[in-house]
Structure 1
Amino acid sequence: MEKYSQFRDKGRHRNRTLPPRPFAPANVLWTPIHALLFALRLLPVLSLSLSYFLLLEILPIPTIIKKCVLWLLLAVPGVWWVDLQVDGVKRGRLSDKQAAGSLPKEGDIVASSFTSPLDPLYLAGIFCPVFVRTWPGEKGVQVITLWGAICMAFSQPQLESPKGVELVQLKELSKKYPDSIICVFPESTTTNGRGILPLSPALLTAGSKTKIYPVNLRYTPGDITTPVPGGAFNWVWKLLSKPTHQMRVRIARPIYNSPSIDTPSTTKSEKASGVDMGYETNIWDSPHLRNGVHVGEEKGDMGQQVLDRVGEDLARLGRVKRVGLGVREKTEFVKIWKSRRR
């Protein structure tokens, strides 16, 4: 893959936009089994999808019914939620009253990683949030539906919002939807799950007292991620033909968009042990350091510090690195990738 070396992150030598290796059965004898699984699952998934997006989503029915349909839509292709970890909460203690403040609730914001169309589907099944779309150079966001969030995983990355799109700030949305969680994909595009892209400044429009929860979702195996636009049919084949897909969810402690309200994302013991820095990371990889200088603190850029903290938490939860390549570089990569594929 040396022909795509210009899209590798400097110092990391890894490409965060390459699609995952295509899934192939270990033995040719398994091919009929995968074809049978695809055929058996296709009709139920289509029926559930049409029923929900054309009828149930717009009807004033109880939220629990919508969530049950979404969970069934995940269960039919064999997507299993195998692990959930929340910062500051021990395993098996999520039902305790003390853990109530560690999970997002009405009025909060979820800043989620974005690797697959399953991400918004899972988040809708858990939180039933209001989804918004972001752009790397815009502070405003666009309210979209769950179907719009799923389609965004297959769409071309955009540097700017299209003309005529109504943009609002997160603070205004929190007032408009006080009884709902707002879900933001701050990377503005999908990745292959191997890095966290620079975040959109839209997060900086949240209220100073609004909690921002970084959430990271990972899949095993990772062949159902969609870092390159298009390929919807191939993705459906991978989703329905494999027996199971494992999903792991990590939720960090809340962050506030205010220097006066500081809730540390990690404990002192975690920082001392190096957990806060992420997986296989040293101090010189920190986004706060450039040539050994704390740029955020010297410049007093509190907004950038908030984005850095959210990015650090997303990277730590996913055990990946933060990278400097953004939507612009991905757009250029997609053009070269598709031209050479043809």
Structure 2
Amino acid sequence: MEKFSQFRDRGSGIAPFLPIPSEPLGLQAPLRIFLFCFRLPLFIFVILAYFLVLQWLPIGSLGKKAALWCILGVPSIWWIDLQIDGVKRGSLSRQQQARLPQPGSVIASSFTSPIDAVYLAAIFDPVFTAAYPNTRQVERISLLQAVLRAFAAPCPEPAPGTKLVDVGDLVKKHPNRPVVIFPECTTTNSRGILPLSHALLSVPARTKIFPVSLRYTPVDVVTPLPGTYISFLWTLLSKPTHCIRVRIAECISSSTNSIDAPPALSTRKSTYNTNYLDTLDQEGVDSGITASEKALLDQVGESLARLGRVKRVGLGVKEKEEFVRVWTKNRRIW
């Protein structure tokens, strides 16, 4: 792996784009082969039934959520560990619902696997968007597009002809649904948080932003490399069970930013979530945003890093694009 050392974060040594190796089959080979062969037809059936039929029928939000839970149930994604900042275990029902993402709010979610979008749709029935690194607008996408983007190559810029909208317009247009943004703009192996998209800066003032971290056990269901459909299906369907660990931070409200405010300068020292060497690299990149805007991105990024128990890294979409080019040149992706 020395040839990929240039794609490690300089401060922490984290390589957020390397694939997670699967566990060897060993004595479990007969069981895993049986589970894969048994589940694959069922999985294809429920996927086609939902995306070709059920999502177009007037079955309501509850009916669609039930169908999505069937999709999650086939590979036995059942044991979901949910923790919310400021809420003790077992006391969620006695807490105010304001601690959970509500209609009219924005969910800033980690992005590691196609399961992310399915789980968020099954819980919150949100509006999905695709973010790009240096653009404050987003592209509205469907659930299927959000799933497929987990297998897609990184996109530093929107394709020509892409229709971009402001996050505020989506919030106003869909007051009864939350809006999901994947601010890292591309998938990782869940070992680091990439620099966040400027799309978060277009969230209207006083609109609540909920950082949400999704992590998996076993962790090899992540898709940091594009086009890994077969290996993902094998890992997903051959394991007996999968656990999702969901962490929701306290909401962050964006404040009104002054146009005349000076650009933000990085003065933070090295912490658990931040590498000082990487902040030096980002000073010039972030010179177009104000101090309050940079503080918002930092707050969301640090929340995602704390929830996932990882560190923020200085590698972004362009670095992943170069990593994929080098990786595919040396290896064949299945």
User: Could you tell me which residue of structure 2 aligns to residue 325 of structure 1?
Assistant: 315
User: Could you tell me which residue of structure 2 aligns to residue 11 of structure 1?
Assistant: 11
User: Could you tell me which residue of structure 2 aligns to residue 274 of structure 1?
Assistant: none
Q: Say if 1:198 and 1:323, in contact at 8 Å, map to a contact too.
A: yes
Q: What percent identity do the matched residue pairs reach?
A: 49
| Cα deviation 1:3-39 (Å, max 9, x = unaligned) | 10111101111211101012322x2x32121111011
Counterpart of 1:165 in 2: which secondary structure? coil
Counterpart of 2:107 in 1: which secondary structure? strand
Pairing 1:132–2:122 present:
no
Letter in 1 for 2:328: K
Counterparts of 1:40-189 in structure 2 under 5 Å? 40-96=38-94, 98-189=95-186
CA change 1:208–1:287 in 2 (3 A) is farther
User: Could you tell me which residue of structure 1 aligns to residue 23 of structure 2?
Assistant: 23
Alignment TM-score, normalising by the size of structure 2: 0.90
**Aligned equivalents of 1:300 and 1:207: distance in 2?**
16
Pairing 1:199–2:196 present:
yes
Pairing 1:252–2:242 present:
no
2:294 pairs, out of 304, 311, 317, with 304
CA change 1:286–1:127 in 2 (3 A) is farther
**Aligned equivalents of 2:186 and 2:98: distance in 1?**
29
Q: Say if 1:198 and 1:325, in contact at 8 Å, map to a contact too.
A: yes
| Cα deviation 1:177-231 (Å, max 9, x = unaligned) | 1111101100000000000000000011111011000000000111000001011
CA change 1:288–1:65 in 2 (3 A) is same
Greater Cα offset, 34-43 or 299-308: 299-308
| Cα deviation 1:291-332 (Å, max 9, x = unaligned) | 9x9xx9xx9611111010000000000000000000000000
**Aligned equivalents of 1:80 and 1:188: distance in 2?**
27
| Alpha-carbon offset, residue 290 of structure 1 | 5.8
| Alpha-carbon offset, residue 81 of structure 1 | 3.3
Q: Say if 1:154 and 1:230, in contact at 8 Å, map to a contact too.
A: yes
State how many pairs are aligned. 316
Counterpart of 2:53 in 1: which secondary structure? helix
User: Could you tell me which residue of structure 2 aligns to residue 269 of structure 1?
Assistant: none
Q: Say if 1:224 and 1:235, in contact at 8 Å, map to a contact too.
A: yes
| Alpha-carbon offset, residue 99 of structure 1 | 2.8
Pairing 1:338–2:328 present:
yes
| Cα deviation 1:160-187 (Å, max 9, x = unaligned) | 0001111001001011111111011000
2:214 pairs, out of 192, 217, 226, with 217
Letter in 2 for 1:242: K
Letter in 1 for 2:5: S
| Cα deviation 1:101-150 (Å, max 9, x = unaligned) | 10011100000000000000000000010000001121111111110000
Long gaps (5+) in structure 1 = 261-276
**Aligned equivalents of 1:283 and 1:107: distance in 2?**
29
Long gaps (5+) in structure 2 = 258-267
Greater Cα offset, 72-81 or 168-177: 72-81
| Alpha-carbon offset, residue 284 of structure 1 | 7.2
CA change 1:204–1:218 in 2 (3 A) is same
Letter in 2 for 1:199: L
| Alpha-carbon offset, residue 89 of structure 1 | 0.9
Q: Say if 1:288 and 1:308, in contact at 8 Å, map to a contact too.
A: no
Q: RMSD in angstroms over aligned alpha carbons?
A: 2.2
CA change 1:283–1:146 in 2 (3 A) is closer
